[in-house]
Amino acid sequence: MPDKPTGLRIVLAEDAALLREGLVGILERAGHHVIAAVGDAPALRAYVDGTAPDVVITDIRMPPTHTDEGLRAAVEIRDGHPRLGILLLSAYIADAYVAQLLDATGGGGIGYLLKDRVGHVREFLESVARVAEGGTVIDPDVVRHLLARRRDDGPLATLTDREREVLALMAEGHTNNSIAARLFVSEAAVRKHIGSIFAKLPLDPDRDRRVSAVLTYLRRA
């Protein structure tokens, strides 16, 4: 009998055949099992309902209109499978997509990456794993875009500049150790900042505090 796959079971939707095959190769070389790789939203929904994957990776724009078919499919999938990890891919930053993505967030992990990030294979695979674990991963370029137009209102106004830096890195999916390395501070200092962030922000009691803080930050951005 063949060995049972030990990686994640993934359904992938991407209408560009070359990129779709490239993603399949990256994921399977990392030990994951792509149980379906499709080119449109109806097939995506059908395979998710029929195979119960661990993660869905989908392009936002797909046939027939190439507008937001993938996003709408992801929202429908989240309604029916609230614990399923969903990672959206986009060719460019679109604020509306971020808002709809966050509004669709249930108990499962959620992510929004620009397609250029796929070229950073290790980061892409780490993002897939983070989403599968129930975490939130937003592309660094998207986070910087939101920071540039952020309104300093509500509870975010109470955060210090350093706390905002830490929270932005949390939104990108960085661990405490990674944040410490990027900010040239100790991991204990990062834990202290995160504790302060948790105390200042109104967090959802039904969610992991780290995920809830990130979502609060992004919704206010």
Confidence of residue 150 (pLDDT cuts 50, 70, 90): low
Domain contains 1: no
Query: Mean pLDDT across the stretch 4-16?
Result: 86
Residue 136 shares a structural domain with residue 160: no
Please identify, among 96, 118, 140, the residue that sits at the C-terminal boundary of a domain: 140
Confidence of residue 4 (pLDDT cuts 50, 70, 90): very low
The kind and range of the H/E element at 121 are: helix 121-132
Q: What is the CATH number of the domain that holds 208?
A: 1.10.10.10
Confidence of residue 110 (pLDDT cuts 50, 70, 90): confident
Query: Mean pLDDT across the stretch 133-156?
Result: 75
Residue 191 shares a structural domain with residue 212: yes
Query: Mean pLDDT across the stretch 45-73?
Result: 91
Range of the domain at 181: 150-220
Residue 90 shares a structural domain with residue 134: yes
Window from 15-19, 93-97, 170-174, 200-204 with minimum mean pLDDT: 93-97
Residue 122 shares a structural domain with residue 187: no
CA distance 115 to 119: 8
Q: What is the CATH number of the domain that holds 52?
A: 3.40.50.2300
Pull the structure tokens for residue 105.
Answer: 């967030």
Cα distances (Å, whole numbers) of residue 31 to 10, 59, 66, 68: 11, 22, 31, 30
Residue 88 shares a structural domain with residue 183: no
* pLDDT, tens only, 177-192: 999 999 999 999 999 9
Domain contains 2: no
Confidence of residue 154 (pLDDT cuts 50, 70, 90): confident
CB-based contact 138:218 (threshold 8 Å): yes
Residue 23 shares a structural domain with residue 75: yes
Domain contains 83: yes
Domain contains 94: yes
Residue 177 shares a structural domain with residue 97: no
Residue 160 shares a structural domain with residue 70: no
Question: pTM, whole model, 2 decimals?
Answer: 0.79
CB-based contact 10:53 (threshold 8 Å): yes
Domain contains 145: no
Number of domains in the chain: 2
